[in-house]
Structure 1
């Protein structure tokens, strides 16, 4: 209890100048800032969610509130804040608190920086007791004239001196050793500034503070009737999103500062909604969880909710019993305190760090900040989210392309993820193969192929077939695809090979032209069993391995073991019993072994090319793996299927 009591006093001393400063920067009576701070302590402090997080009026919303009050007046601020609070409660009940954690870090940091820049610009005018011009861009444009006015006015120079003193104190106070360094820097700046401003020769603007009770404006039904205005509805959404995001981001940061109970995000979002509903009903400023107060609470040794509840009680007592002291505080000193808060929100080193860590995220952060400064908070955040989504889509669409060409044939292999963002590259790669007669497009290695890219592949393949390509094969993920040549839709063209031959294990096919057979087929291992069922894994997905249509003189190689239908894929090998122990032939490693004991004759190497009994393809490239024979090599005259495919020049 003692630690919580001490921490509550520290948080009160930090919160008091911030409540006053945020109210002054928001263009509303200073008392309304105190009211929001009291609600954040006495009401939200009791509610579940986070134990050590402290709520109150936030500097991040000051510029937004100022723009709203300037355009619509203070009277409509309460209804807008009230509805925003109800929306927050609804989001909490719908368990949407965790949703805000899914927002990109670069968007969050860009949002904070975008809040900080307008705050710095607005408080630059307050620093010299001048009225700001409005939006961030207008304030930037008015800086040259402001500098001229300050140089020509002695009182503005005095205000500038006091404001800079407060700003320097806030930046350097952390270097002051304990125990003096334990006193909050904003409190030191306010007390010292008030003392200097009390001197007879110093003429600066001071805070105007009336009765806290009189400043409260209870929202009635008539005020709620104005909420049909689209501008007010937009502001409600903006307040809801920004207040919720800032509170939950603050909760995540506070959880990293202590080892106590973790924040329950849905409950915290609901609690923040209760607080804003009450603030709106009282006509006060919107509130959020504030990282400055929360950090002070943790660092002061708080252990339970008692510290944040008591800090609200101290604010209530001060506002009711000592309101006259607030009239001694110079406005320029509060501007200096808020300039420091704005600089911490802006945090320029974070841009360089983000750029070094991830340039894409650095761009998102910069775009978010720039859009907020140029437009407004809501549009800036939406712009940042849009850029972040595009960045994710680009990174998820990393597609690897490998193109190979050999003569009149080509192969395009696609790997990775292909979305509509990769369509231009995909089209370029496909167009580079448009002059080839035989093309294989293998997309089976794609992890994701969206509808746009799939449609493009299918349309391109169809156009190439209609354009006269000899063969176009499209292999899609999931085993889908097709292997079609133009002649498949007509008659009279010679077939690549006979898919209806009476071969053991081979399916039956129908059709005219160069079409291939369909059905379950088995590609055979010479000298052994037909092998596993299914299409042979060659580039053209043939239903079985094309072998020369000549008798295989097995007896010449292995006398005493005549061929049998169980061990030969050839129709003419129809005699002899099945041998129980035929292993794979050494010419075809990987084939199945048959029986426990290999025959000694199978250990001999295959005959050389041209030797008696040699197969026509032995000693030459495997026709499954090469489109054409190597230079100086050709297949035998009996290989009509190869001649039909590659031309008479391949006949030996």
Structure 2
């Protein structure tokens, strides 16, 4: 009976999910290939991850409208790992990372990943964006990126000089710049009737046409004749390396970063639609299954991806069927049209990633953090960014986390957050959450659960008489919750307090988060 109802719902929503899935496929295709190139591996590896993320993870995900696949946020660390240890060693790493995510989901700690400070997350993504731009500038000249961000930065003047000295490298630069210009122009001026046609696809087509019609001698994507024949289990030698400390650290890093990025993306997607809410522990487990399978068949690490997910929602998707169908389109493309990939210049994909990387930097995030939470929070964002670029991703995140902990020490000294769920006095049927003590990211899971238990519609009161401190992570979560509740017709009232914590909480509830 349940299967029959599911099939009926699939047929009923097919008119919206089918076109949405094709739009997501068009967005995902160039990004999957580009992220593979940025990771230092063949483009089909990213497409394989897109298939697994679409079909398998899409079927079991806890965030039905989120789209999973290879992510720019992991490209830099994968590039360095593959350069040092070889691609074959990545398979066991992903299997172990997937198992860690499955265990985390089973232990119901999905909400803990949301406790990472927004300043650290945005700083991490900004640092990754800088590294992507620095590396892809070299690919724009048909050169090979160097191992570190600082090396790439120092080598840019030489790369530019060699490119403009003439020859094939100048042709590659022309293709890359044309791709960037086409993407930005399409997104700004595209006709309304073609608004769902993604700029990334138009840009890659523009770069490919320029290279083909102009007869330019530039590097193009190389693919094997039978792409799916490249699927293979890791060798026994690769499995034997799981005991190496560097391999274990890489698995833990991928599991932590991929989980945080996926769950933060899922929270952002929830703000874009009125459909089913994310089940965070189930989504964490689904991501674990996806990474485990990608490790077994030779794919890249995956996360939930905000660019593809937002395209999915904006194109009108209403259920997980759109995500699954987009994975089927990628698989059909690989089987029927792999020769099309060999026409695409690598400089065109680099152009797409330069734009993507710059958007990850997102200076607007710094302004948002300053406007709502002050200069100290912006400082955590900036230090995390610089540390990621100057050292590595894990060091940057740990540095940002340590600074966030220091920022929260005053609140921690004022006692643990206590939450009472009662009925508002003299207002029958009106729920009230009484907050007292210091609210920090360490108490975020309990706060999140209490907020989500409140009913939709009517009025909900947040009483702050005993609230002595609140950090920006808790403020961000309450702001997101208040925005979603307001969209469903709920009135949020902040009552009973005074002073800085009360005023800060009242301000974020009264104004939108972004």
Matches within 5 A, 1:302-317: 302-317=317-332
CA contact (8 A) 1:129 1:332 kept: yes
Q: In structure 2, which of residues 281, 288, 295 is the aligned counterpart of residue 266 of structure 1?
A: 281
Alignment size in residue pairs: 403
1:177 to 179, 191, 194: 191
The question of whether the paired residues in 1 share the 8 Å contact of 2:186 and 2:202 is answered with no
Match of 2:15? 2
State which of 203, 206, 211 in structure 2 corresponds to 1:189.
203
What is the CA distance between 1:352 and its match in structure 2? 3.3
Note the C-alpha offset of 1:222. 3.4
**Alignment match of 2:364 (pick from 327, 345, 349):** 349
For residue 166 of structure 1, report the CA deviation from its aligned partner.
1.4
Higher Rg: 1
What is aligned with 1:62? 75
Q: CA deviation at 1:219?
A: 2.0
Runs of 4 or more off by more than 3 Å in structure 1? Answer: 394-398
Aligned to 1:511: none
Decide which moves more: 290-299 or 199-208. Answer: 199-208
2:178 and 2:206 in contact (8 A); partners too = no
What is the match of residue 506 of structure 2?
Answer: none
Matched, 1:227 2:242: yes
SS at match of 1:55: strand
Task: Report the alpha carbon displacement of residue 224 of structure 1 after superposing the two structures with TM.
Answer: 1.3
* Distance (whole Å) between structure 1 residues aligned to residue 33 and residue 138 of structure 2: 17
Is 1:198 matched with 2:212? yes
Is residue 2:353 matched to residue 1:334? Answer: no
Question: What do the CA deviations read for 1:433-482 (whole angstroms, capped 9, x no partner)?
Answer: xxxxxxxxxxxxxx99xxxxxxxxxxxxxxxxxxxxxxxxxxxxxxxxxx
> Does the aligned pair in 1 maintain the 2:182–2:206 contact within 8 Å?
no
TM-score in terms of structure 1 length: 0.60
Write the distance in 2 (CA, Å) between the matches of 1:201 and 1:190. 16
2:137 aligned with 1:121, yes or no? no
**Cα distance in 2 for residues equivalent to 1:36 and 1:186:** 19
1:308-328 CA-to-partner distances (Å, cap 9, x unmatched) read 101111100100111000000
Asked if the contact 2:140/2:347 (under 8 Å) is kept, the reply is: yes
Partner of 2:269: 254
* Shift in Å, 1:397: 5.6
Runs of 5+ consecutive residues of structure 2 not aligned to the other structure: 1-13, 415-436, 439-467, 470-514
199 and 356 in structure 1: CA distance in 2 versus 1, 3 angstrom threshold: same
Cα distance in 1 for partners of 2:290, 2:215 equals: 44
1:133 alignment partner, SS class = coil
| Rounded Cα–Cα distance in structure 1 between residues aligned with 2:196 and 2:313 | 13
**Other-structure match for 1:371:** 387
1:321 aligns to 2:336 (yes or no): yes
| Structure 1 residue 108: Cα displacement | 1.0
> Deviations for 1:144-196, whole angstroms, at most 9, x for unmatched residues?
21121112133222211211121123233222231233210111111121111
In structure 2, what is the Cα distance between the partners aligned to 1:281 and 1:149? 41
Distance 2:23 2:194 in 1: 13
Distance in 1 (CA, whole Å) between partners of 2:360 and 2:274 is 25
Q: How does 1:6-21 map to 2 (within 5 A)?
A: 6-21=19-34
Judge conservation of contact 2:65–2:323 (CA < 8 Å) in 1: yes
User: Pick from 69, 93, 100: which aligns with 1:87?
Assistant: 100
Q: Does 1:207 align with 2:221?
A: yes
Q: Matches of residues 378-417 of structure 1 in structure 2 within 5 Å?
A: 378-394=394-410
Secondary structure of 1:258 counterpart? coil
- Which of the two has greater helix per residue? 2
In structure 1, distance between residues paired with 2:198 and 2:342: 20
Alignment map for 1:624-643 (pairs within 5 Å): none
CA contact (8 A) 2:35 2:71 kept: yes
Residues 108/26 of structure 1: CA separation in 2 closer, same or farther (3 Å cut): same
Alpha-carbon distance, 1:396 to partner = 5.3
Residue 470 of structure 1 is matched in structure 2 by: none
1:146 aligns with 2:162: no
Secondary structure of the residue that 1:309 maps to in structure 2?
Answer: helix
User: Which residue is equivalent to 1:362?
Assistant: 378
Inter-partner Cα distance in structure 1 for 2:76 and 2:38: 7
Q: Give the Å deviation of 1:120.
A: 0.8
Name the structure 2 match of 1:431: none
Give runs of aligned pairs for residues 409-428 of structure 1, distance below 5 A: none
Tell me, yes or no, if the aligned pair for 1:79 and 1:283 is still in contact at 8 Å. no
**3-state DSSP class of the match of 1:43?**
helix
Match of residue 457 from structure 2: none
Could you tell me which residue of structure 2 aligns to residue 451 of structure 1? none
Tell me, yes or no, if structure 1 residue 72 matches structure 2 residue 88.
no
Q: Is 1:197–1:204's contact at 8 Å kept on the other side of the alignment?
A: yes
Per the TM alignment, residue 395 of structure 1 is displaced from its structure 2 partner at its CA by 5.5
> Equivalent residue of 1:56, what SS?
strand
Which residue of structure 2 aligns with residue 597 of structure 1?
none
Task: Select the residue among 22, 46, 49 that pairs with 2:62.
Answer: 49
Q: Residues 67 and 312 of structure 2 are in contact (CA less than 8 Å); yes or no, is this contact kept in structure 1?
A: yes
Deviation of the 1:291 alpha carbon? 0.6
Residue 252 (structure 2) pairs with residue 237 (structure 1): yes
Q: Is 1:275 aligned to 2:295, yes or no?
A: no
Give the distance between the partners of 1:359 and 1:75, measured in 2 at CA: 44
1:256-281: per-residue Cα shift (whole Å, max 9, x none)?
A: 00000000000000000000000000
Q: Distance in 2 between matches of 1:308 and 1:48?
A: 10
Residue 524 of structure 1 corresponds to none
CA deviation profile, 1:123-162 (whole Å, cap 9, x unmatched): 1111111111110011111112112111213322221121
Quickly say closer, same or farther: Cα 1:220–1:386, change in 2 above 3 A. same
Unaligned runs of 5+ in 1: 399-415, 418-446, 449-652
Shift of 1:394: 4.0
Q: What residue number does 1:454 align with?
A: none
Q: Which moved more, 1:37-46 or 1:163-172?
A: 163-172
- Provide the secondary structure at the position in 1 that maps to 2:69: strand
What residue in structure 1 maps to residue 512 of structure 2? none
Question: How far does residue 355 in structure 1 lie from its aligned partner after superposition?
Answer: 3.0
